[in-house]
Structure 1
Amino acid sequence: MEATHDGPGGGAARWVELAEVDNIRDLGGLPVLGGGRTRHGVVFRASTLQDATAGDVELLLGRYRLRTVVDLRGPDEAAREGHGLLADTAVRRVSLPVRRVQALVTDAVPAVRGEGGEAGEAGDAGEAADDTAGFYEGLLDGSGASLVDAARIVADTEQHAVVFHCAVGKDRTGVLAALLLDAVGVPADAIAADYALTAQRVVRIRERLARLPSYRDLPAVEHHYMASKPQVMHHFLDTLRTRHGGAGRWLRERGLTGAELGRLKDVLVAGPES
């Protein structure tokens, strides 16, 4: 595999190497403010799982003890693309679509703005970051119930290990990952570094998705919607904190109880000695 930097969101051990799933990694091993790190083997973020081979499925169920898949795709998208071999297992599949208030097809494949421009012509880097972060804010605003339910699943040890995924494993998946990690005290630099790791796999992710009906209009790799630059996640987290007081408060205001938030922290955070 590609070398993974050992920054705050890095660590080669976090990648799960599967034959036909391109972007899956453990959210364990990230630093937590006040000490400790996130636990390994509890929750994983991923790109679409529908191409997983029999060997991939065996590895997920065996070594990684997968019990629950949280599908962040839209219902129509999931119906078209399916669940592959995982549909024939005892793994629990939960549909929790992450989309904007007025859901659009482009919530699965973000639209390329402008007319007649080549992919990548999206203004300066600051504008691109603002545009993508704004898209994420729209997903946050339209998906309160789904995101709270996903946090409840992660907080429930009976459902571990949990994998949540969308298509690329960057946007809808990135919003949920950011919420979970911010809620338990992972610093912004580490969340942004984790988000940025998708860039290591983006070429092969796009090559795979472009063969599937739902993603034929996926932007070129060079376009900013296919990038996973850390400043985009920093912008999103800044907005989450200034508008909502952070992920913990956002989740509480949408129905997660204090006890559930406490369990989420207990489940995801290991002490310094662990």
Structure 2
Amino acid sequence: MTSLTWPRCRNARDLGGLPISDGGQVRAGALIRSDNLDQLDSHGLAAVQAAGVSRIVDLRSAWECEKYPSPFANDERWLNVPLTDPADPDVGEQDMFEQYRMLIDDYPHRFAAAVTAIGDAPPGCVVVACHAGKDRTGLVIALTLDLLGVPLPAIATDYATAPETTTTNPLPELAPPHPDTILHVLAHLSMRYGGTARYLLQSGATSSQLTALTDRLH
């Protein structure tokens, strides 16, 4: 994975180069994860164009998209696939694994829609983004990488890679990501659903969509 210089975005990186268990690697220039693109300046917007982006999967709620509109909101490449909704129960005081587990268990169709949006995109690079590029993006990327066969330690390392923060806010979602959190999520998927692929198939994804996803990222 390679950190990208997208001015005013602090958490953008290309996931190309991550190892796959079959001996291959995630293809460079195929999948980028990022924080909120509304922060981009003109140089950042030019960098997105230069990356050959064909789809931006914006995981923010409709409320967030209205309050902090994406500069690509009127672009056909932008696709809003909300992973959370303001009407969802407030779980902010739960630890991060429990927050993630409830999302996974309560809203499986949201994850299926987000992951298949990557595989269904037109040819080119896909960007997955939310607000901080850490939690919602971290979950969708972790499921995608697990589906590809990226080893668990590499998934955990990617998840835990984030800009340093000086916040002292006690809320769990504002703490730096810890690799064990995402490993516990993937273990939960394995134990309860039989793995990421079965979870997504049970949640509305088709086998052809999952195949298209793995093919485009190899």
* TM-score, normalised by the number of residues in structure 1: 0.72
Of 150, 158, 174, the residue aligned with 1:186 is 150
Of 91, 115, 133, the residue aligned with 1:169 is 133
AA aligned to 2:56 is V
| Cα distance in structure 2, aligned partners of 1:197 and 1:67 | 25
Sequence identity (%): 30
Within-5 A mapping of 1:2-17? 11=1, 14-17=2-5
Of 242, 246, 251, the residue aligned with 2:191 is 242
Q: Is the 8 A contact 1:139 1:172 kept in 2?
A: no
1:45 aligns with 2:22: no
1:33 aligns with 2:21: yes
Within-5 A mapping of 1:187-266? 187-198=151-162, 201-203=163-165, 220=169, 224-225=172-173, 226-266=175-215
| Cα distance in structure 1, aligned partners of 2:8 and 2:140 | 23
| Cα distance in structure 2, aligned partners of 1:101 and 1:152 | 23
The 3-state SS of whatever aligns with 1:67 is: strand
Tell me the number of residue pairs that the alignment of Structure 1 and Structure 2 aligns.
Answer: 217
Stretches of structure 1 lacking an aligned partner (at least 5 in a row) = 1-10, 114-130, 207-218, 270-274
The 3-state SS of whatever aligns with 1:164 is: strand
Q: Is the 8 A contact 2:55 2:121 kept in 1?
A: no
The 3-state SS of whatever aligns with 2:37 is: coil
Deviation at 1:100, TM superposition (A): 7.3
Please say which structure displays the higher CA radius of gyration: 1
Q: Is the 8 A contact 1:241 1:247 kept in 2?
A: yes
| Cα distance in structure 1, aligned partners of 2:68 and 2:116 | 26
Q: For residue 76 of structure 1, what is the aligned residue in structure 2? A: 63
| Cα distance in structure 1, aligned partners of 2:181 and 2:216 | 28
Deviation at 1:101, TM superposition (A): 11
List per-residue Cα deviations over 1:238-261 (Å, max 9, x = no partner).
111111111111111112222221
Deviation at 1:177, TM superposition (A): 0.6
| Cα distance in structure 2, aligned partners of 1:16 and 1:87 | 22
| Residues 1:101 and 1:257: Cα distance change in structure 2 (over 3 Å) | farther
Q: Is the 8 A contact 1:178 1:191 kept in 2?
A: yes
Q: For residue 81 of structure 2, what is the aligned residue in structure 1? A: 96
Stretches of structure 2 lacking an aligned partner (at least 5 in a row) = none
Q: For residue 92 of structure 2, what is the aligned residue in structure 1? A: 111
| Residues 1:195 and 1:135: Cα distance change in structure 2 (over 3 Å) | same
Deviation at 1:48, TM superposition (A): 0.8
* TM-score, normalised by the number of residues in structure 2: 0.90
